[in-house]
Structure 1
Amino acid sequence: MNAASPSPLRLAFAGMAALAVAMGIGRFVYTPILPGMMEELHLTPADAGWIASANYLGYLVGALAAAGGWAHGRERLLMFSSLAASALLAGLMGLNETMAAFLVIRFFAGLASAFVMVFMSSIVFSHLAAAGRGDLQALHFGGVGLGIAGSSALLAFLVTEHAGWSAGWLWSGVISLAGLLVVALLAGSATTANGVAGHEPALPRNNSLVKMIVAYGLFGFGYVVTATFLIAIVRQGGGSRVWMVAGLAGFPSTWLWQKVAGRIGLYAAYAVSCLIEVAGVSASVVVKGAAGPLIAGVLLGGTFIAITALGLQAGRQLAPRAPRRIFAVMTAAFGLGQIVGPIAAGLLAQASGNYTLASVMAAAALLASGFIAWSAAPKSP
């Protein structure tokens, strides 16, 4: 490792700040802003689903593009450029009012967030592996929860000030720019350590690997319904508080579930966390009053970031010689689920007048994901 490189802990904090901007804000601030957009712009649930899916399509395209060899040696430049783009695109959302503009902006925002996720993770994880500090990966992933909680606090304040939905996007852009500066200060000139040269081998022909890819796609479909519409489900005041609770629960979740995986096994931990998320998805529409969405926020936030990390970890374990390739395939499956989920949920909600059927559909997908992942555990010889 280069002597001038930041310490592993400092790099993990840089990764946390980067994911807080690109994922916690860049991808998920749409959730607390959505009710205001629906009310003031008269968007239907189907409209909201299409906008969300445009973002997830951008994420899918970005993740697949980022896995290509063309980016080798350019990871740092692409990561910082994408952080800047994420901030700019958030601001642009607040300056537009048409569906066409929303679809285009959120597509490119998804592309930017995928680039940050892939390239910052490759920089951080390569240094953590070289230093033998894989335990700090949980700190890196904690940035998603931190960004969700921070942006929710911002939205809660703006609501009390009677600011419109556009103010949420504009302030998100400002905070994202501040986050970019934090990442620059912490990461310094760090680039990937011990990069893999040349082409990776094809993925192994392995039933367990196929099952994990399918399970990951179903997880993408199942979690995203509640992640997109949770605050719209609330409908009354306190929506930002619910999403803040989700972010706070998400911050330590990867660390916690890694501990659980160490005790019961990676695949069992994935399955159990899916079951807990099913309870959260169900609570969002079954438990009446303010308690339901709050329970959903805690259980969703406490699982979805961790399941993302556990799934990728399982994929790397099953294809150790092709880490970039399996990251791309897993993310593609996840991304396809995310694209279909909000569209199907939005159309169901529009047709039925509530989110109950959509949530039942999401819960079924999560149950299937957990069961398939549990069955994918390689058998001991």
Structure 2
Amino acid sequence: MSIADTPRNESLAATAVAGAIAMAVAMGFGRFSYTPILPGMMAGLGLSPADAGIIASANFIGYLAGAVAAGYGWAAGRERLISLSGLFATAILLLAMGLTSSLTAFSVIRFLAGVASAFTMIFTSAIVLSRGLAAGNPHVQATHFGGVGIGIAVSSVMVFLLPAQGFGTVAGWQASWFGGAVIAFAGTAIVAMLLPRGPAVGASSVREKPLIWTRPLVVVTLTYGLFGFGYVITATFLVAMARQGATDHTVEFLAWLITGLSSAVSVFLWRYAVPRLGIVGVYLAGMFVEAIGLVLVVALPSPAAPLIGGLMLGATFIMVTAYGLQIGRALAPQSPRKALAFMTAAFGVGQIIGPLVAGWLAQGSGSFGLPTLLAAGVLLFCAALIGVEMRRIVAASR
């Protein structure tokens, strides 16, 4: 079944496309365009790996704050307004990144961008995924989360095509932030036209019941948070790693482009493994595959290492994010929005710690090898924990 085969297909298709574009803007550009722009900022401004980690962590602190705030009932019935406000704020904040060179200002801007991206992700997902669930169409979820990969791929192409030296007094890294802002404004306008009006299907002004922390939900939330720590090290520093030892910027571009393209189709492709492994099994498999990818990033020579790392990162991190939230919602059927918000908060904590630890270890060791192996070990631990608890999680989520 495709989106076009469902009842009210035109509305459902428009909703899925709106979700994809919103995720491309809020996540692909608002969060992840920092990765391909970072090497130019480090070269042009003399930022150290520790500085880069501080800026990245500020974004993730904002994401955590937004996720926690979203877990309360104040937004019921206002999902669309908050989603569009978050997208507009994302565009403004992308523009602001090109107007300063201060580490403190960068950190404040990225903090606010984290809040905006969390609001957009949570409330747009509430609108889009509820409609896909009501229609019984799994392609809506794949399209929605695939938007993150599309945004990553487009940001990679944008940074590659813009002159590294910039335009006149505008440095190359500044031009990249300005270009991202233009694309974000355009994307926001399109989402405003396509995203359905009114609250999400099934939403009401009545607050959800208190979240009950069962053992399966605790385990899934814990592994989801640790996954945030593990994946974000590569997601933040992959392009910077690709630049080390490279003779030109082609490997950087290809590594992040491959990440985006593979992540754009990952949720759709992994669906074919669900009948055999189940959603929990696919969630486990994604963590294991990404851990192997991180090991290969260290073990393989350049330029193969960042390209393989980008492929395996893209093939897993969106899928694990999407299926992890789906499992969490199933484990808390009376409080799905709270479950989504608190799992996102756990994810945010992992992302805050990851860049700080990676930046510190990289600066001390002179390379990103040690933090990458640490991330791989954390992901292997997550896979093992899910394996031990799988029977309980599957039973509780039915």
For the aligned pair, the TM-score class normalised by the smaller chain equals: over 0.9
- Measured after TM superposition, the shift of residue 310 of structure 1 is 1.2
Q: Does 1:322 align with 2:335?
A: yes
- What's 1:72 paired with? 76
Distance in 1 (CA, whole Å) between partners of 2:8 and 2:132 is 15
- What's 1:189 paired with? 197
- Measured after TM superposition, the shift of residue 198 of structure 1 is 2.4
Question: Bigger CA drift: 132-141 or 15-24?
Answer: 132-141
| 2:225–2:346 Cα contact (<8 Å) kept | yes
- What's 1:290 paired with? 303
| 1:212–1:376 Cα contact (<8 Å) kept | no
Q: SS where residue 376 of structure 1 aligns?
A: helix
Question: Out of 285, 304, 318, which is 1:305 matched to?
Answer: 318
- Measured after TM superposition, the shift of residue 8 of structure 1 is 1.0
Question: Out of 329, 335, 345, which is 2:348 matched to?
Answer: 335
**Given the superposition, is the C-alpha separation of residues 179 and 110 from structure 1 closer, same or farther in structure 2, using an over 3 Å criterion?**
same
**Given the superposition, is the C-alpha separation of residues 193 and 6 from structure 1 closer, same or farther in structure 2, using an over 3 Å criterion?**
farther
Amino acid at match of 1:362: A
Question: Out of 226, 232, 235, which is 2:234 matched to?
Answer: 226
- What's 1:270 paired with? 283
Q: SS where residue 82 of structure 1 aligns?
A: helix
| 2:128–2:140 Cα contact (<8 Å) kept | no
Q: Aligned pairs, how many?
A: 379
CA deviation map 1:317-352 (0-9, x unaligned) = 211111011112211111100000000000000001
- What's 1:142 paired with? 146
- What's 1:107 paired with? 111
Distance in 1 (CA, whole Å) between partners of 2:377 and 2:302 is 24
Distance in 1 (CA, whole Å) between partners of 2:85 and 2:208 is 26
TM-score by length of 1: 0.95
CA deviation map 1:265-295 (0-9, x unaligned) = 1222111111110122122222102111000
5 Å matches for 1:1-381?
7-159=11-163, 164-187=172-195, 189=197, 191-235=199-243, 236=246, 237-238=249-250, 239-379=252-392
Distance in 1 (CA, whole Å) between partners of 2:298 and 2:125 is 35
Question: Bigger CA drift: 200-209 or 49-58?
Answer: 200-209
- What's 2:3 paired with? none
TM-score by length of 2: 0.91
- Measured after TM superposition, the shift of residue 103 of structure 1 is 0.5
| 2:77–2:205 Cα contact (<8 Å) kept | no
Distance in 2 (CA, whole Å) between partners of 1:126 and 1:311 is 16
Distance in 1 (CA, whole Å) between partners of 2:39 and 2:99 is 17
- Measured after TM superposition, the shift of residue 66 of structure 1 is 1.5
CA deviation map 1:224-258 (0-9, x unaligned) = 00000001111132212210110000001011122
- Measured after TM superposition, the shift of residue 307 of structure 1 is 0.3
Distance in 2 (CA, whole Å) between partners of 1:245 and 1:181 is 27
- Measured after TM superposition, the shift of residue 5 of structure 1 is 11
Distance in 2 (CA, whole Å) between partners of 1:129 and 1:164 is 43
CA RMSD of aligned residues (A): 1.8
Amino acid at match of 2:102: T
Distance in 1 (CA, whole Å) between partners of 2:384 and 2:325 is 17
Give aligned-pair identity as a percent. Answer: 48
- Measured after TM superposition, the shift of residue 374 of structure 1 is 2.4
Distance in 1 (CA, whole Å) between partners of 2:103 and 2:221 is 33
Distance in 1 (CA, whole Å) between partners of 2:130 and 2:155 is 29
Amino acid at match of 2:158: L
- Measured after TM superposition, the shift of residue 259 of structure 1 is 2.3
| 1:125–1:134 Cα contact (<8 Å) kept | no
- Measured after TM superposition, the shift of residue 111 of structure 1 is 0.4
